[in-house]
């Protein structure tokens, strides 16, 4: 749970940039390739990450421009990338202009429970991280390069002249 708005702003800024790094390594062809009947496609995961920003934020009363949760998955990475970037920037802008540290303790109805807004922001961040992790596994299975987020990826170790760890 966030107690200071600036802590969320710092985390979201980093995590949003990390998500864009991952999206940037997708290909249009990868968006629809299924790796297993029980695993979401890369396109479905990227789109879920994108649409969930507004879906969760709107439950707190924030009025930011995003894409509808039930909208169709775009056909290109560029579209997803741009719509995610816009939603992410709109979230930050709206929070900066509408909320303050005290606002983080206001409770909203979130999925039948009462959550403090500081908790909701934590869930938004963690939800994105969770699905981004799933997306990177799907990317590996599709043979796509995975960028390092919290440290070097396998490919980046090699670029640094080190042996990649298994």
| pLDDT tens figures, 16-58 | 999 999 999 999 999 999 999 999 999 999 999 999 999 999 9
CA distance linking residue 106 with residue 119, whole number of Å: 10
CA distance linking residue 82 with residue 76, whole number of Å: 10
CA distance linking residue 54 with residue 69, whole number of Å: 8
Tokens, residue 114 = 């009462």
Kindly list the distances between the CA atom of residue 142 and the CA atoms of 22, 35, 53, 135, in Å, as whole numbers in the listed order.
Answer: 14, 7, 26, 10
pLDDT score, position 154? 85
**This model's pTM is above 0.85:** yes
With 0-12 / 13-18 / 19 or more C-beta atoms within 10 angstroms meaning exposed / middle / buried, residue 165 is exposed
pLDDT score, position 48? 97
Secondary structure letter of residue 39 according to DSSP? S
Output the average pLDDT for the chain: 95
User: Contact 141/35 with Cβ under 8 angstroms?
Assistant: yes
With 0-12 / 13-18 / 19 or more C-beta atoms within 10 angstroms meaning exposed / middle / buried, residue 10 is exposed
> Residue ranges of the chain with pLDDT lower than 50?
none
pLDDT score, position 164? 73
User: Contact 23/80 with Cβ under 8 angstroms?
Assistant: yes
Secondary structure letter of residue 109 according to DSSP? E
């Amino acid at each position: 749970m966030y107690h200071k708005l600036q802590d969320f702003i710092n985390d979201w800024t980093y995590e949003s940039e990390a998500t864009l790094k991952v999206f940037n390594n997708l290909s249009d062809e990868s968006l629809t390739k299924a790796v297993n009947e029980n695993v979401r496609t890369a396109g479905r995961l990227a789109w879920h990450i994108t649409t969930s920003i507004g879906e969760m934020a709107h439950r707190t009363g924030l009025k930011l421009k995003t894409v509808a949760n039930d909208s169709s998955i775009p056909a290109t990475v560029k579209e997803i990338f741009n719509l995610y970037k816009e939603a992410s920037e709109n979230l930050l802008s709206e929070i900066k202009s509408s909320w303050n540290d005290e606002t983080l303790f206001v409770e909203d109805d979130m999925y039948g429970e009462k959550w403090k807004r500081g908790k909701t922001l934590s869930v938004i961040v963690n939800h994105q991280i969770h699905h981004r992790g799933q997306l990177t596994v799907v990317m590996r299975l599709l043979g796509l390069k995975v960028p390092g987020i919290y440290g070097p990826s396998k490919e980046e170790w090699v670029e640094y002249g080190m042996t990649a760890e298994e």
